[in-house]
Amino acid sequence: MINRIHNFWGIRSEHIFNDVFTGYEDLYPELDTFTAEVYDKDPANTIEEVFNIYRNRSIVPIIYYTENGLIQALKEFKRASYSHVENNVIGLGNNLGQTLCRFLFTNMQTAEPKGRGSNSLKDRFYDDAKLRRAIRICFEFRDGNKLVYPTAMRRSLELVTGENVQNFKPQHARAIAERLCPVLWGRIYDYSCGYGGRLIGIASSNMNYSYIGTDPNTETFEYLKYLDSLLNNNSEIICSPSEEYQCEDIDLAFSSPPYFNLEKYSDEPTQCMVKYTSMDDWFDGYVAPTMKNIHKGLNDDGIFATNIADYKSYGNKEYFVVDRWIELAEKIGFKHTNTIKMLLNTRPGVGNFKTEGREKFEGVYVFEKNNS
Q: What is the CATH number of the domain that holds 294?
A: 3.40.50.150
pLDDT of res. 353: 41
Residue 329 region, left (φ>0) first, then alpha (ψ -120 to 50), else beta?
alpha
Q: Identify whether residues 206 and 299 lie together within a single domain.
A: yes
Q: Identify whether residues 128 and 247 lie together within a single domain.
A: no
pLDDT of res. 265: 66
Asked if the structure places residue 184 within a domain, the reply is: yes
DSSP E strand boundaries for 143-270: 187-190, 210-214, 236-238, 250-255, 263-264
Q: Which of 159, 181, 207 is the last residue of a domain?
A: 159
* Mean pLDDT to the nearest integer, 161-180: 87
* Mean pLDDT to the nearest integer, 199-207: 96
Q: Identify whether residues 142 and 287 lie together within a single domain.
A: no
Q: CA-to-CA distance for 258 and 192, rounded, in angstroms?
A: 8
pLDDT of res. 352: 39
Asked if the structure places residue 112 within a domain, the reply is: no
Closest of 192, 260, 251 to residue 224, by C-alpha:
192
Please report, rounded to a whole number, the percentage of residues in the chain having pLDDT higher than 70. 89
Q: Identify whether residues 151 and 252 lie together within a single domain.
A: no
Q: Identify whether residues 193 and 306 lie together within a single domain.
A: yes
Asked if the structure places residue 85 within a domain, the reply is: no
Angle 310-163-268 from CA coordinates, rounded to 5°:
80
CB 264 within 8 A of CB 115: yes
* Helix or strand (DSSP H, E) at 20: strand 20-21
Asked if the structure places residue 108 within a domain, the reply is: no
Q: Identify whether residues 148 and 247 lie together within a single domain.
A: no
Residue 68 has pLDDT above 50, yes or no: yes
* Mean pLDDT to the nearest integer, 38-67: 97
Q: Return the DSSP state at 346.
A: -
pLDDT of res. 262: 58
pLDDT of res. 230: 97
Render pLDDT for 308-331 as a digit per residue (tens, 0 to 9): 988 776 667 787 899 999 999 999
Residue 354 has pLDDT above 50, yes or no: no
CB 18 within 8 A of CB 65: no
Q: CA-to-CA distance for 45 and 49, rounded, in angstroms?
A: 6
Cα-based distances in Å from 197 to 97, 202, 274, 349, 365: 7, 9, 24, 18, 18
CB atoms within 10 A of CB 7: 11
What's the total number of domains in the chain?
Answer: 2
Q: Identify whether residues 184 and 278 lie together within a single domain.
A: yes
Render pLDDT for 109-157 as a digit per residue (tens, 0 to 9): 887 766 556 678 899 999 999 999 999 999 998 788 899 999 999 999 9
CB 227 within 8 A of CB 253: no
Q: Identify whether residues 147 and 260 lie together within a single domain.
A: no
Give the residue, 273 or 84, on which the prediction is more confident. 84
Closest of 221, 216, 187 to residue 202, by C-alpha:
187
Cα four-point dihedral sign 6, 7, 11, 16: positive
Q: Which of 130, 159, 188 is the last residue of a domain?
A: 159
Asked if the structure places residue 125 within a domain, the reply is: yes
Q: What do you get for the CA distance between the two ends of the chain, in Å?
A: 50
Q: CA-to-CA distance for 296 and 289, rounded, in angstroms?
A: 11
CB 311 within 8 A of CB 282: no
Asked if the structure places residue 348 within a domain, the reply is: yes
CB atoms within 10 A of CB 14: 8
Closest of 236, 370, 237 to residue 298, by C-alpha:
370
pLDDT of res. 162: 60
pLDDT of res. 274: 66
pLDDT of res. 25: 98
Q: Identify whether residues 312 and 364 lie together within a single domain.
A: yes
Give the residue, 160 or 200, on which the prediction is more confident. 200
Render pLDDT for 220-259 as a digit per residue (tens, 0 to 9): 999 999 999 999 999 999 999 999 999 999 999 999 988 7
- The residue type found at 103 is F
Using DSSP, state whether 159 is helix, strand or coil: helix
Q: Identify whether residues 183 and 325 lie together within a single domain.
A: yes
Closest of 67, 348, 8, 22 to residue 230, by C-alpha:
67
Q: Which of 133, 159, 185 is the last residue of a domain?
A: 159
Asked if the structure places residue 87 within a domain, the reply is: no
Backbone dihedral angles phi then psi of residue 233, each to the nearest 5 degrees:
-105, -15
Q: Identify whether residues 360 and 247 lie together within a single domain.
A: yes
Q: Identify whether residues 251 and 354 lie together within a single domain.
A: yes
Residue 75 CB partners (closer than 8 Å, separation 6+): none
pLDDT band at residue 171 under the 50/70/90 scheme: very high
Average confidence score pLDDT of the chain: 89
pLDDT of res. 3: 97
Domain that holds residue 128: 2-65+120-159
Using DSSP, state whether 364 is helix, strand or coil: strand
pLDDT band at residue 4 under the 50/70/90 scheme: very high
Q: CA-to-CA distance for 348 and 161, rounded, in angstroms?
A: 9
Asked if the structure places residue 82 within a domain, the reply is: no
Please report, rounded to a whole number, the percentage of residues in the chain having pLDDT higher than 90. 71
Residue 356 has pLDDT above 60, yes or no: no
Render pLDDT for 255-310 as a digit per residue (tens, 0 to 9): 998 876 656 666 666 666 667 778 899 899 999 999 999 999 999 999 999 999 88
